[in-house]
Amino acid sequence: MGIKTLIAVVVAACAFAALPAAGMADPNMDLPNNSGFTVFGGTSELTGGTNVHCASMTGSGGFENGNGGAIQLAFHGCKAFGLVSCTTAGQPSGTIVTTVLPFGLRTVGGNPAILVFSKEGHFMTFSCLGAIVKVTGKGVVGTVLKPGYKEASKTFEVAFKGTGATQNHLKVDGDANTYTLESSVNGGAPGAAALDASGIGTWVEGGEGTLTK
Protein backbone atom coordinates (compact mmCIF):
# COMPACT_ATOMS: atom_id res chain seq x y z
CA MET A 1 0.00 0.00 0.00
CA GLY A 2 1.44 3.41 -0.98
CA ILE A 3 1.91 6.32 1.39
CA LYS A 4 -0.80 8.46 -0.24
CA THR A 5 -3.24 5.54 -0.07
CA LEU A 6 -2.44 4.98 3.60
CA ILE A 7 -3.22 8.57 4.47
CA ALA A 8 -6.35 8.71 2.31
CA VAL A 9 -7.75 5.57 3.97
CA VAL A 10 -7.27 7.00 7.44
CA VAL A 11 -8.70 10.42 6.65
CA ALA A 12 -11.76 8.94 4.97
CA ALA A 13 -12.46 5.93 7.17
CA CYS A 14 -11.17 7.02 10.57
CA ALA A 15 -12.16 10.68 10.55
CA PHE A 16 -8.72 11.77 11.65
CA ALA A 17 -9.93 15.24 12.53
CA ALA A 18 -12.41 13.77 15.01
CA LEU A 19 -9.69 12.08 17.07
CA PRO A 20 -8.63 13.74 20.35
CA ALA A 21 -6.97 16.98 19.28
CA ALA A 22 -3.29 17.64 19.70
CA GLY A 23 -2.46 20.06 22.50
CA MET A 24 -0.71 23.35 21.91
CA ALA A 25 2.44 21.98 23.58
CA ASP A 26 2.59 18.76 21.57
CA PRO A 27 5.64 18.16 19.37
CA ASN A 28 5.65 18.68 15.62
CA MET A 29 7.86 17.23 12.92
CA ASP A 30 9.22 19.73 10.41
CA LEU A 31 8.94 17.43 7.45
CA PRO A 32 11.16 16.70 4.46
CA ASN A 33 9.69 17.19 0.99
CA ASN A 34 8.26 13.64 1.03
CA SER A 35 6.63 12.93 4.37
CA GLY A 36 6.49 9.15 3.81
CA PHE A 37 8.63 6.75 5.81
CA THR A 38 9.49 3.08 6.19
CA VAL A 39 10.00 1.28 9.51
CA PHE A 40 12.26 -1.56 10.56
CA GLY A 41 12.58 -3.14 13.99
CA GLY A 42 13.89 -6.24 15.73
CA THR A 43 12.05 -8.62 18.04
CA SER A 44 8.65 -7.69 19.43
CA GLU A 45 6.16 -9.27 21.78
CA LEU A 46 2.45 -9.12 22.48
CA THR A 47 1.63 -10.23 26.02
CA GLY A 48 -1.78 -10.99 27.44
CA GLY A 49 -4.17 -13.88 26.93
CA THR A 50 -2.04 -15.13 24.03
CA ASN A 51 1.69 -14.40 24.29
CA VAL A 52 3.16 -13.93 20.81
CA HIS A 53 6.84 -13.35 20.07
CA CYS A 54 7.92 -12.04 16.65
CA ALA A 55 11.42 -12.02 15.18
CA SER A 56 11.25 -8.72 13.29
CA MET A 57 9.02 -5.82 12.31
CA THR A 58 8.57 -3.74 9.16
CA GLY A 59 6.12 -1.05 8.18
CA SER A 60 5.34 2.08 6.23
CA GLY A 61 3.45 5.27 6.79
CA GLY A 62 3.36 8.99 6.31
CA PHE A 63 2.66 12.26 8.08
CA GLU A 64 -0.60 13.92 7.04
CA ASN A 65 0.68 17.06 8.73
CA GLY A 66 3.51 17.84 11.13
CA ASN A 67 1.65 16.38 14.09
CA GLY A 68 0.41 13.02 12.81
CA GLY A 69 -0.65 10.74 10.00
CA ALA A 70 -1.04 7.00 9.39
CA ILE A 71 1.03 3.85 9.76
CA GLN A 72 0.73 0.13 9.07
CA LEU A 73 3.05 -2.43 10.68
CA ALA A 74 3.90 -6.04 9.86
CA PHE A 75 5.43 -8.45 12.37
CA HIS A 76 7.36 -11.43 11.02
CA GLY A 77 8.35 -14.82 12.41
CA CYS A 78 5.53 -14.71 14.95
CA LYS A 79 4.85 -17.66 17.24
CA ALA A 80 2.57 -18.17 20.22
CA PHE A 81 4.33 -19.59 23.28
CA GLY A 82 7.36 -20.20 21.06
CA LEU A 83 5.66 -23.09 19.26
CA VAL A 84 2.71 -22.18 17.03
CA SER A 85 2.95 -19.80 14.06
CA CYS A 86 0.50 -16.89 14.13
CA THR A 87 -0.65 -15.32 10.87
CA THR A 88 -3.01 -12.63 9.59
CA ALA A 89 -5.28 -13.94 6.83
CA GLY A 90 -3.71 -13.56 3.40
CA GLN A 91 -0.16 -13.18 4.74
CA PRO A 92 2.79 -15.62 4.70
CA SER A 93 2.92 -17.98 7.67
CA GLY A 94 4.13 -16.18 10.79
CA THR A 95 3.32 -12.66 9.56
CA ILE A 96 0.89 -10.47 11.50
CA VAL A 97 -0.26 -7.20 9.94
CA THR A 98 -2.05 -4.33 11.66
CA THR A 99 -4.87 -2.41 10.09
CA VAL A 100 -3.98 1.09 8.87
CA LEU A 101 -3.69 3.10 12.09
CA PRO A 102 -3.76 6.87 12.67
CA PHE A 103 -1.07 8.32 14.94
CA GLY A 104 -0.20 11.63 16.55
CA LEU A 105 2.82 13.13 18.25
CA ARG A 106 2.23 13.82 21.94
CA THR A 107 4.21 14.21 25.17
CA VAL A 108 4.45 12.09 28.32
CA GLY A 109 5.86 13.96 31.30
CA GLY A 110 6.96 16.65 28.88
CA ASN A 111 9.00 14.21 26.78
CA PRO A 112 8.22 13.42 23.11
CA ALA A 113 5.83 10.52 22.62
CA ILE A 114 3.75 8.87 19.92
CA LEU A 115 0.11 7.86 20.32
CA VAL A 116 -1.13 5.24 17.86
CA PHE A 117 -4.92 5.11 17.75
CA SER A 118 -7.00 2.10 16.86
CA LYS A 119 -9.17 2.08 13.77
CA GLU A 120 -12.69 1.94 15.17
CA GLY A 121 -11.35 -0.05 18.13
CA HIS A 122 -9.37 -2.54 16.02
CA PHE A 123 -5.59 -3.03 15.81
CA MET A 124 -4.98 -6.45 14.28
CA THR A 125 -6.44 -9.92 13.84
CA PHE A 126 -4.53 -13.17 13.39
CA SER A 127 -4.86 -16.90 13.92
CA CYS A 128 -2.66 -19.36 15.81
CA LEU A 129 -3.42 -23.00 14.95
CA GLY A 130 -7.06 -22.14 14.26
CA ALA A 131 -7.57 -19.88 17.28
CA ILE A 132 -8.62 -16.39 16.13
CA VAL A 133 -6.99 -13.59 18.14
CA LYS A 134 -8.28 -10.01 17.91
CA VAL A 135 -6.32 -7.12 19.39
CA THR A 136 -8.52 -4.14 20.15
CA GLY A 137 -8.48 -1.05 22.34
CA LYS A 138 -8.40 2.73 22.27
CA GLY A 139 -4.73 3.27 21.51
CA VAL A 140 -1.15 2.57 22.50
CA VAL A 141 1.40 5.10 23.76
CA GLY A 142 5.11 4.90 22.92
CA THR A 143 8.12 7.12 23.45
CA VAL A 144 10.13 8.97 20.82
CA LEU A 145 13.77 8.07 21.52
CA LYS A 146 15.30 9.98 18.60
CA PRO A 147 15.66 12.66 17.37
CA GLY A 148 15.78 15.13 20.22
CA TYR A 149 14.16 18.51 19.89
CA LYS A 150 15.66 20.71 17.14
CA GLU A 151 17.81 17.84 15.82
CA ALA A 152 17.58 17.35 12.05
CA SER A 153 17.71 13.63 11.26
CA LYS A 154 17.21 11.22 8.37
CA THR A 155 15.70 8.72 10.84
CA PHE A 156 13.57 8.59 13.97
CA GLU A 157 13.22 5.93 16.65
CA VAL A 158 10.18 5.00 18.74
CA ALA A 159 9.55 2.34 21.39
CA PHE A 160 6.48 0.77 22.98
CA LYS A 161 7.08 -0.93 26.31
CA GLY A 162 4.92 -3.08 28.54
CA THR A 163 5.21 -4.80 31.90
CA GLY A 164 3.27 -8.03 31.87
CA ALA A 165 -0.03 -7.29 30.14
CA THR A 166 0.04 -3.55 30.95
CA GLN A 167 1.53 -0.86 28.77
CA ASN A 168 4.10 1.28 30.62
CA HIS A 169 2.42 4.48 29.43
CA LEU A 170 -1.37 4.69 29.48
CA LYS A 171 -1.88 8.46 29.21
CA VAL A 172 -0.43 11.44 27.39
CA ASP A 173 -0.12 14.98 28.67
CA GLY A 174 -3.25 17.12 28.42
CA ASP A 175 -5.57 14.20 27.61
CA ALA A 176 -7.89 12.58 30.16
CA ASN A 177 -8.27 9.39 28.12
CA THR A 178 -6.61 6.11 29.13
CA TYR A 179 -5.11 4.23 26.19
CA THR A 180 -4.94 0.44 26.47
CA LEU A 181 -4.84 -2.72 24.38
CA GLU A 182 -6.94 -5.85 24.82
CA SER A 183 -6.92 -9.25 23.15
CA SER A 184 -9.61 -11.88 22.80
CA VAL A 185 -9.55 -15.46 21.51
CA ASN A 186 -12.35 -16.94 19.40
CA GLY A 187 -14.75 -14.17 20.36
CA GLY A 188 -14.28 -14.61 24.10
CA ALA A 189 -14.11 -11.84 26.66
CA PRO A 190 -11.17 -9.50 25.99
CA GLY A 191 -8.33 -9.29 28.49
CA ALA A 192 -5.52 -6.80 29.03
CA ALA A 193 -2.64 -6.90 26.55
CA ALA A 194 0.60 -5.01 26.00
CA LEU A 195 2.91 -4.47 23.02
CA ASP A 196 6.69 -4.45 23.47
CA ALA A 197 8.35 -3.26 20.26
CA SER A 198 10.72 -0.65 18.92
CA GLY A 199 11.55 0.53 15.44
CA ILE A 200 13.55 2.97 13.38
CA GLY A 201 11.79 5.04 10.76
CA THR A 202 13.59 6.32 7.66
CA TRP A 203 12.28 9.05 5.35
CA VAL A 204 11.62 7.44 1.97
CA GLU A 205 13.59 9.99 -0.09
CA GLY A 206 16.45 10.44 2.35
CA GLY A 207 15.41 13.87 3.58
CA GLU A 208 15.68 15.13 7.14
CA GLY A 209 12.94 15.79 9.66
CA THR A 210 13.29 18.04 12.71
CA LEU A 211 11.31 17.55 15.92
CA THR A 212 10.10 20.87 17.34
CA LYS A 213 8.02 22.01 20.28
* Cα–chain center distance at 73: 7
CATH code of the region 3-8+36-202: 2.40.160
Q: Which residues contact 40 (CB under 8 A, 6 or more apart)?
A: 56, 57, 58, 59, 199, 200, 202
Q: Is 198 helix (H, G, I), strand (E, B) or coil?
A: strand
pLDDT tens digit at each of 213 positions of the chain: 443 333 333 333 333 434 555 554 789 998 877 789 999 999 999 998 889 999 999 999 999 888 999 999 999 999 998 899 999 999 999 999 999 999 999 999 999 999 999 999 999 999 999 999 999 999 999 999 999 999 999 999 999 999 999 999 999 999 999 999 999 999 999 999 999 999 999 999 888 999 998
C-alpha dihedral, 202 to 3 to 128 to 178, nearest 10°: 80
Q: What CA–CA distance (Å, rounded) separates 190 from 138?
A: 13
pTM: 0.88
Q: What CA–CA distance (Å, rounded) separates 180 from 195?
A: 10
